[in-house]
Structure 1
Amino acid sequence: MAVIQSFGAAEVVTGSCHLLQIEKGPSIMVDCGMFQGVVEKRNFEPFDFEPADVDILLITHAHLDHVGRIPKLVKEGFRGRIVTLRSTMDLAQVVLLDSAHLMEEEYRTRFRKAQRRGAEAGVREPLYTVDDVEAVFDMPIEYVEYGEEVELAKGVKATFRNAGHILDAATIQLDFEEAGVAKRFVFSGDLGNHNDMVMHDPVFVKEADVLYIESTYGDRNHKGIKESEDEFRKVIVDTLLNEGNVLIPSFAIERTQEIMCILKQMYDKRELPECKIFIDSPMAIRATRLYDTYHDELSDCCNEFLKRDGTVFEFPYIHYTLKPEESKRINEIGSGCIIIAGSGMCTGGRILHHFKHRLWNEKNSLLFVGYQAEGTLGRRIIDGERHIHIYHEEVVVRAKIHTINGFSAHADQNDLIDWMNHFERLEKIFLIHGEYDKQKVFKKAIEERMGKRAHIVAPEEKVYV
């Protein structure tokens, strides 16, 4: 009998890491992501399994909470195969190198301060370094295409399907036999929001004995996309006409590209006041270039932009600020800016510098367009915190706060249930990748709307299937 254990994204959103042990077969891990928010300290805890015993690592997509601990996995002994899409690894390289650079920089800063106190021995080293990231890409990597069935081991096959979440995102189907009985396990990965401007809709799966499905927004439905876009346009236009600036903490992958597409549409329709739009995130800039490279994975809208303009995302108001000194010069501009910067949950990155210089000004707007995990600065601001500390300085929050969840890259409750309803045969449902209180709401919705039972997976719980 096969057994699955979740060593992350169990009763929490982040840290996705699921280990499937097939009886008399390989040990298969699906994702090895980083914990974020209030549970981020768990990244530094030892794995509760032996990395050297993992035979195969499958990667659903390149978000940090799905790939962020892979360098640690390799550093601590993993020597198996990595199987995923080529665009996933290209994007993961950008994400992991950025993560390593930030951790190394933070370590150097803490070490210098500790030296002045004579306490450098107590400074914790980074979770991993740039060298550790590069070691990941020296591993055996097997690239697959959407819809292609690949043999992982004798009698064990995997199929990756488009999950519509971000560039490269996949749902993974595993087919194998145990004691002469055919079994099919499906890991949803993160499923995309219906009618996303940049990505295609998720591809449906027809059968599963076991489904592990994300539940990030299983407790609610997003605003309609038209309503969300209208609200977004109003915030942008009103703020700019009021001689203010718009701050958008944005995830470098997918969210930044979607916002760029909406702004490009506004520019085309002459709805956008003259302004300067700064993409102030090196990772977002590199990710945008990869989106251009893999444009075949993008929506018809994006490819129409490409055919017309020779570029999916760029238009005259866009400015890329790769270097720190370019970012700092943005502070010299009084008004008329839209600043899209990382990190998406305001836990670090250049957005904090812009908060320090602009969050106190009531003419400005702070526009959240993505999920804010518990414990993050973004979540605290949304929850009403009005005095925050940035770089040892107290900053009062006077800017107008706007939250638009219709742009989420995650499916909402209706989308999740609609995706499951397309299964012609679905036996067992397991909920992962969600906050526990929201999973309870989703579990009840599945029972009431689908007539099926669902189980909320506990951390490290052994599920025999």
Structure 2
Amino acid sequence: MQVHFHGAAGEVTGSMHLVEAAGKRILLDCGLIQGSREAEARNAEPFPFDPATLDAVVLSHAHIDHIGRLPLLVKRGFRGPIHTQGASAELLPIMLLDAASLSESEAERANRHRRRGEPDAQPLFSEEDVHAAMKQVRPLPYDERTTILPGVDIALRDAGHILGSAIVELWADGRKLVFSGDLGPKGTPILRDPTVVKQADLLLMESTYGDRNHRDRPETIRELGAIFEHAWRDRGNVLIPAFAVGRTQELLYWFARNWDAWKLSRWRIFLDSPMAAKVIGVYARHHGLFDEDARRVWAQSPNPFRLPNLHVAETVQQSMAINQIENGAIVIAGSGMANGGRIQHHLRYNLGRRNAHVVFVGYQAEGTLGRRLVDGAKWVRIHGRDYRVNAQRHTVGGLSAHTDQQGLLAWYGNFQPAPPLVLVHGEDRAREALAGEIGERHGVPVELARPGMVVDV
């Protein structure tokens, strides 16, 4: 068995790893590269392998940095099955159709401003490409070992990251490979804790927060409540860039849990994301995957997804109307890194206001608008115009859907014996810190994945 590393190998986005085993070729994830314009331009480049030679794809979960090049893979010749957990299979078309729409809009905007002689910008893929890819999806349950190809078995275990997220166990050639996907922290609302896995001949593990620990969740919740109180006294709006899958649902969960304490009835709460509204439907259909506490909250009032003053903006007109509100609005909108989507329009209207508050509740990759705001930029460019940043900015780290260094060390510590390890899905500073901790504690070889690197299992 060999593993070839082609994405999220020295960066956080673009997850893609090719496994060759039992005479077959299996691709783990096929994610979109996110960040700067130069980084995102790499998405259109040829794959470092011929898609037609792949026998199967296995997806760890439905975040766009793990699935976003799937329609392109099919467009360029992949014809095999796409395996993923059942809830993820329902999320795939929602996420990918939204990505297709964004790509088409960005191409149209670029063509309106292109210089004479420049070639037309083309979307990365179309809605038709998404529909074609969905015909190849094969949903799988958690915790069943399944033969997906002759000589190749997989099992999906709950990763506790978002609904349907999975740790992938793969058996072939008498060896066992484990791919962590993205691991959630213990005690994450709604979701169950990541499954303990105890044996592997090689482990591919994410390292997004390999160099730090999150703030305690109760402290984070108090901080979030204080931000809302501060913003109310300031008579301003609160903008929260949030991924449509995972973070949005967790925020609504905490809103329901703290409805009275945060005096949320006085606010107008907007979920400005048609995609997030569809995702909520998937969560509702799969509430059997929730943890015990979330099932109790689900049955209580107010239901997190049906708050009495929650307004879902589905049309462009409804989204535009929000920007006429100068105070008293909490707006949750994508994208989570503010590098696209409707949140950019709300930022344009609010960044210049000193009484506005922008709350970041997730990881902001290098090169994104969110990262520039978190790093304290005084001016930012949105849709070709520069905007002064007067709004107050808050980074609330304890709501991350990724576990932290302590959580990664604890999860790895369950393996007996400790397996050799390749760290993926992390910037070098985070990976180096985690590699040092694991090497010191367990004395095992730890490698940092690089594009084109090959490891034998």
Question: Normalising TM by the smaller chain, what interval?
Answer: over 0.9
RMSD: 1.5
Report 1:40-79 matches (<5 A): 40-79=40-79
Contact in 2 for aligned 1:305/1:313 (Cα 8 Å): no
Aligned to 1:242, which of 217, 220, 234? 234
* Cα distance between partner residues in 2 of 1:379 and 1:6: 26
2:223 counterpart residue number: 231
| Residue type of the alignment partner of 1:18 | H
CA distance in 2, matches of 1:282, 1:244: 25
Q: Give CA deviations for 1:341-373 in whole Å, capped at 9, x if unaligned.
A: 111111111111111111111111111001000
Offset of 1:268 from its aligned partner? 4.3
- How far residue 109 of structure 1 moved from its aligned partner, in angstroms, is 2.5
Residue 302 of structure 1: SS of its match in structure 2?
Answer: helix
CA distance in structure 2 between the partners assigned to 1:269 and 1:118 by the alignment = 58
Counterpart code for 1:350: R
2:419 is paired with a residue whose SS is strand
Q: CA deviation at 1:118?
A: 4.2
CA distance in 1: counterparts of 2:260 and 2:235, whole angstroms: 22
Q: In the alignment, does 2:306 pair up with 1:295?
A: no
What letter matches 1:272 in structure 2?
A: L
**Corresponding residue pairs, total:** 455
Q: Deviation of residue 269 (structure 1)?
A: 4.2
| Aligned twin of 2:97 | 97
- 2:163 counterpart of 1:167: yes
Contact kept, 8 Å, 2:95 with 2:275, in 1: the verdict is yes
State how far apart, in whole Å, the 2-side matches of 1:352 and 1:46 are.
30
Partner SS for 2:433 = helix
Question: Contact between 1:211 and 1:426, CA under 8 Å: does it hold in 2?
Answer: no
Q: Which letter does structure 2 place at the counterpart of 1:72?
A: L
Deviation at 1:270, TM superposition (A): 5.9
Once residues 198 and 213 of structure 2 are traced to their aligned partners in structure 1, the CA distance between those partners, rounded to angstroms, is: 24
Match of 1:377 among 369, 378, 396: 369
Structure 2 SS opposite 1:332: coil
Do 1:18 and 1:30's aligned partners in 2 also have CA atoms closer than 8 Å? yes
SS at match of 2:95: helix
1:282 CA drift (Å): 1.3
> C-alpha offsets along residues 122-145 of structure 1, whole Å, 9 cap, x if unaligned?
123111111111110122x32211
Letter in 2 for 1:7: H
In structure 2, the residue matched to 1:280 is 272
The residue type equivalent to 1:449 in the other structure is R
Q: Which moved more, 1:304-313 or 1:242-251?
A: 304-313
2:108, 2:121 within 8 Å by CA — same for their partners in 1? no
Residues 140-219 of structure 1: pairs in structure 2 closer than 5 A: 141-177=137-173, 182-219=174-211
State the secondary structure of the residue aligned to 2:305. coil
Q: Where does residue 11 of structure 1 map in the other structure?
A: 10
Q: Partners of 1:198 and 1:418 in 2: how far apart?
A: 21
Q: AA paired with 1:14?
A: T
| Secondary structure, counterpart of 2:41 in structure 1 | helix
Q: 2:47, 2:363 → 1: CA distance? A: 27
CA distance in 2: counterparts of 1:413 and 1:426, whole angstroms: 17
Tell me the residue number matched to 2:28: 30
CA distance in structure 1 between the partners assigned to 2:324 and 2:138 by the alignment: 48
1:161 & 1:41 partners in 2: Cα distance? 33
1:109 corresponds to 2:122: no
> Deviation string for 1:367-392 (max 9, x for gaps)?
10010000011101111111112233
Tell me, which stretches of 5 or more residues in structure 1 are unaligned? none
Taking structure 1 as the reference length, what is the TM-score of the superposition?
0.95
Name the counterpart of 2:128. Answer: 131
- Whether the aligned pair in 2 keeps the contact of 1:303 and 1:312 (CA below 8 Å) is no
Cα offset, 1:25, TM superposition:
2.4
AA at the equivalent of 2:57: L
**What aligned pairs does 1:315-334 form with structure 2 within 5 A after superposition?**
315-334=307-326
Task: Name the aligned partner's letter for residue 209 of structure 1.
Answer: D
Give secondary structure in 2 for the equivalent of 1:463.
strand
| Partner amino acid, structure 2, of 1:36 | Q
1:358 aligns with 2:350: yes
* 2:418 aligned counterpart, secondary structure: strand
* Sequence identity percentage: 40
For 2:158 and 2:302, how far apart are their aligned partners in 1? 25
Task: Name the CA distance, whole Å, in 1 between partners of 2:303 and 2:58.
Answer: 32
Alignment deviations for residues 249-288 of structure 1 (CA, whole Å, 9 cap, x no partner): 1111110111111111121446436110000111111111
Displacement, 1:89? 1.6
Q: What's the offset of the Cα at 1:246?
A: 0.7
CA deviations 1:423-444 (Å, max 9, x no partner) are 1233211100101121111110
Call closer, same or farther: CA 1:124–1:391 in 2, change over 3 Å.
Answer: closer
Counterparts of 1:251-290 in structure 2 under 5 Å?
251-269=243-261, 271-272=263-264, 274-290=266-282
Deviation at 1:306, TM superposition (A): 2.4
For residues 438 and 89 of structure 1, the distance between their equivalents in structure 2, rounded to whole angstroms, comes to 31
Give the structure-2-normalised TM-score: 0.96
SS for the counterpart of 1:443 is helix
Distance in structure 2 (CA, Å) of the matches to 1:245 and 1:312: 21
Equivalents in 1 of 2:33, 2:122: separation in Å?
A: 17
Within the candidate set 399, 411, 417, 1:407 is matched to 399
Question: What residue ranges of structure 2 are gaps of 5+ in the alignment?
Answer: none
Match of 1:422 among 414, 418, 423: 414
Whole-angstrom CA distance in 2 between matches of 1:266 and 1:310: 10
Work out the CA distance in 1 between the residues paired with 2:304 and 2:331: 19
CA distance in 2, matches of 1:420, 1:165: 16
Report the CA distance shift for 1:317/1:301 in structure 2 as closer, same or farther (over 3 A): farther
Distance across 2 between alignment mates of 1:34 and 1:28: 18
Q: Is the 8 A contact 1:209 1:426 kept in 2?
A: no
Q: CA deviation at 1:104?
A: 1.0
Measured after TM superposition, the shift of residue 98 of structure 1 is 0.1
Cα separation, 1, equivalents of 2:150 and 2:113 = 54
Structure 1: which amino acid aligns with 2:72?
Answer: K
Q: Return the letter of the residue paired with 1:165.
A: H
